[in-house]
Amino acid sequence: RSLILGVHARGKKLAEGISLDDLAKRTAGLSGADLKNLVNEAAILAARRGLAEITDDEVNDAADRVIAGLAGRAAADSASKRLIAYHEAGHALVSTLLPDHDPVNKVTLIPRGEARGLTWFT
């Protein structure tokens, strides 16, 4: 997977510190076309933000978009936000307590696709 990412990242300026190996670990199950979309989406985000190179922020935002879909509207009322936060915190807590579970990478309350919140693992 990291080799495929390398092919698609060729010709795109990546910020120092971006590890294609780490990105490959986070994108298990994605096809070559999905990986190409991820790299291209990161480049588009960098251009929109007026950056000269692709940074971790663009890679993370592109991965979120390619894997889970476009960001939706966050819950309007605090009760819904609290319920979603407890739910996602439960995923993070249980996975941390399980001995052989992948570590938590990110927890978000930003809805994407059908999910109202997400817990990402590496």
CA angle at 30 for the pair 19 and 25, rounded to the nearest 5°: 35
CA separation for the pair 61, 87 (Å, rounded) = 22
If 0-12 CB within 10 Å is exposed, 13-18 middle and 19+ buried, where does residue 35 land? buried
Q: Which of 16, 41, 58, 88 is catalytic?
A: 88
Catalytic annotation on 114?
no
Burial code (b: 16+ CB inside 10 Å, e: under 16) for 45-79 equals bbeeeeeeebbeebbbbbbbbbbbeeeeeebeeee
Active site residues: 88
